[in-house]
Amino acid sequence: MQSIARNSWISLASIGTVSVSLIIVGVFTLVFLNANQFTQGLESGLEIRAILKNEQSRTDLNRINYSIESISGVSFVEFISKNQALEEMKESLENRKEILEGLQSENPLPDAFKVKAETPEQIVPIAKEIEAIEGVEQVIYGQSFVEKLVAATRWIRYAGAGLLGILCLAAVFLISTTIKMSVFARRKEIEIMVLLGATKWFVRFPYLLEGMILGFLGSLLSGLVVGAGYLSLVNHLDQALPFVSLITDKLVVLKVLGGIVGVGLLIGAIGSTMSIRKFLKT
């Protein structure tokens, strides 16, 4: 603690580096989690529509429903009658409803089942299986769109995770460099300790403690900045863009912040231990 006070400039610089690096990591983690949630939201909206042959009996409908439900990977099945389908279409056309007015009396739309898959990757095989069921005329699932979306979200996730990994490495590098430099600036001190007969552990301990304290303070600072910033962002966005749903689960945010502090402590401890090592060789 004394040494932190006496080397105040270096200590402040180390704390600053730790917090700046971890702020970057923290912000990006939250961006990444939100992007992930967003793409999941998109994906879970994907659905398969099994259009049925005209005029089926109740038993047939039940049989088809059961067949679909028993396909592995199917998470949701719902029957949509031709009337429901018309309503839905009206809604989706919104301002061009007038087109459909002529259809009111004689509904050309077929009955159908709405099916959802557990994961977007399963949509294509499920669609194939449904097509084979008797009584199903056609399966619609926006083939090209699903494929694009699945590919795109997978890319976003991989690229995001990759970027996050690189950022974490960068943070570790920056922090450990700073700690190394701060140890380097005091290499004389370490040499003298060793010459006075200090055991390695005795020399290492204060630096370890210092590294941990610096790491802790720096990561705490960054945790506070990221946490406060994110919560205020969530509030603002709630008013400005009520339809965008950010992750507001306090637990997730807390986990991220906790992770940041933990990482800070760990890097501080490991960084200082590693940096002293080379000055400890006798």
Partner 1 sequence: MINFYNVTKLYPNGVKALNDVSLSICKGEFVFLVGPSGAGKSTLIKIIFREELPTRGQVLFGGKNVARLRPREVPYLRRKIGMVFQDFRLLSQKTVAENVAFAMEVISASGKDIKKRVPEVLEQVGLKDKLNVLPKELSGGEQQRVCIARALVNSPAVLIADEPTGNLDPDTAWGLMELLEEINKAGTTVIMSTHAREIVDVMKKRVVAISQGKISRDEECGVYCDEL
Mode of pairing for the β-strands spanning 48-52 and 136-140: antiparallel
Min. distance of Cβ 199 from partner 1 in angstroms?
5
Identify the CA nearest to 272 among candidates 169, 173, 182.
Answer: 182
C-alpha distances out from residue 100 to 91, 95, 104, Å: 11, 11, 7
178 or 272: CB nearest a copy of itself: 178
CB within 8 Å of 195: residues ≥ 6 apart: none
Q: Choose from a copy of itself, partner 1, none: what does 209 bind? Cβ within 5-8 Å by kind.
A: none
Cα of 38 vs its chain's centroid, Å: 9
Min. distance of Cβ 206 from partner 1 in angstroms?
10
Environment class of residue 18 by beta-carbon count within 10 Å: exposed (0-12), middle (13-18) or buried (19+)? buried
CB within 8 Å of 69: residues ≥ 6 apart: 77
Min. distance of Cβ 197 from a copy of itself in angstroms?
27
Provide Rg for the chain, Cα atoms.
30
Q: Choose from partner 1, a copy of itself, none: what does 231 bind? Cβ within 5-8 Å by kind.
A: none
Q: Choose from partner 1, a copy of itself, none: what does 241 bind? Cβ within 5-8 Å by kind.
A: a copy of itself
Min. distance of Cβ 192 from partner 1 in angstroms?
5
Residues that bind partner 1 (CB under 8 A): 3, 6-7, 186, 188-189, 191-200, 202, 282
Q: Choose from a copy of itself, partner 1, none: what does 116 bind? Cβ within 5-8 Å by kind.
A: none
**DSSP-assigned letters across all residues of 84-100:** HHHHHHHHHHGGGGGGG
Residues that bind a copy of itself (CB under 8 A): 9-10, 13, 16-17, 20-21, 23-24, 27, 89, 94-96, 98-99, 101-103, 108-109, 140, 142, 148, 151-152, 155, 159, 163, 166-167, 170, 173-174, 177-178, 180-182, 184-185, 233, 237, 240-241, 243-244
Give the SS3 label for residue 102.
helix
Question: Could you tell me the two tokens for 91?
Answer: 């809604």
Min. distance of Cβ 3 from partner 1 in angstroms?
7
Query: What type of residue sits at position 181?
Result: M
116 or 186: CB nearest partner 1: 186
Min. distance of Cβ 70 from a copy of itself in angstroms?
25
Give the number of residues written for the chain. 282
95 or 282: CB nearest partner 1: 282
